[in-house]
Amino acid sequence: MVPHAEWTQDLVGRRVLCVGTDLVDVADMRAALARQPRFRTKAFTEAERAYCDVLDDPAERYAVRFAAKEAVLKALGTGLSGAALTEIEVRRAPDGRPSLVLLGRAAALAEAAGVRSWLVSLTHTATRAHALVAGVGAGDRR
């Protein structure tokens, strides 16, 4: 794990501009995956699908990624209609730390809001998946 002081160093002098959170029911995600075969490709990137689909029951992993995508769009003030879900990718570092990569319209919305990076917290159980994201921008340069 990366020491706290090391991964927060780039936050000095910056401020949180927006926050989003979302909670997803894992059983609902499992049902959506079974009911709508195209849902995986419409909502998740190839890399996300590769990470999730290694499990016999990938619903928890999909649910927490969906929660993160919706949390980002909430933070940006648009809701699900703001950008394609595949324009928001949840990545996982080798040490387990999650991060976000935004492309296309999602990236443009973040840039317009002044967001330069994201803080991401993900958690899930067998029944619920929760994501909390914070868009971080440059601090005041007075």
Q: What is the mean pLDDT of the chain?
A: 91
Q: Which two tokens stand for residue 84?
A: 């394609």
Would the annotation count 140 as a binding residue?
no
Give the total number of structural domains in the chain. 1
Q: What percent of the chain has pLDDT over 70?
A: 88
Kind and range of the H or E run holding 14: strand 14-25
The answer to whether 22 is a known ligand-binding residue is yes
Say if CB 122 and CB 67 are below 8 A apart.
Answer: yes
Rounded Cα gap, residues 88 and 104, in angstroms: 9
Look at residue 37 in the predicted model and tell me its pLDDT.
Answer: 85
4-18 average pLDDT score = 65
pLDDT tops 60 at residue 73: yes
Sign of torsion over alpha carbons 52, 102, 125, 2 = positive
Confirm whether 116 is domain-assigned.
yes
Q: Is the pTM of this model over 0.85?
A: yes
Query: In this predicted structure, what is the pLDDT of residue 139?
Result: 66
Q: Which residue has the higher pLDDT, 1 or 20?
A: 20
Residue 21 lies in a domain: yes
| Residue 38 included in any domain | yes
CATH (domain of 48): 3.90.470.20
In a domain, 4, yes or no: no
pLDDT value at position 4? Answer: 46
- Do residues 105 and 87 lie in contact, with contact meaning Cβ atoms separated by under 8 Å? yes
CB atoms within 10 A of CB 77: 11
The parent domain of residue 20 ranges over: 14-138
Q: How far apart are CA 48 and CA 30, in angstroms?
A: 16
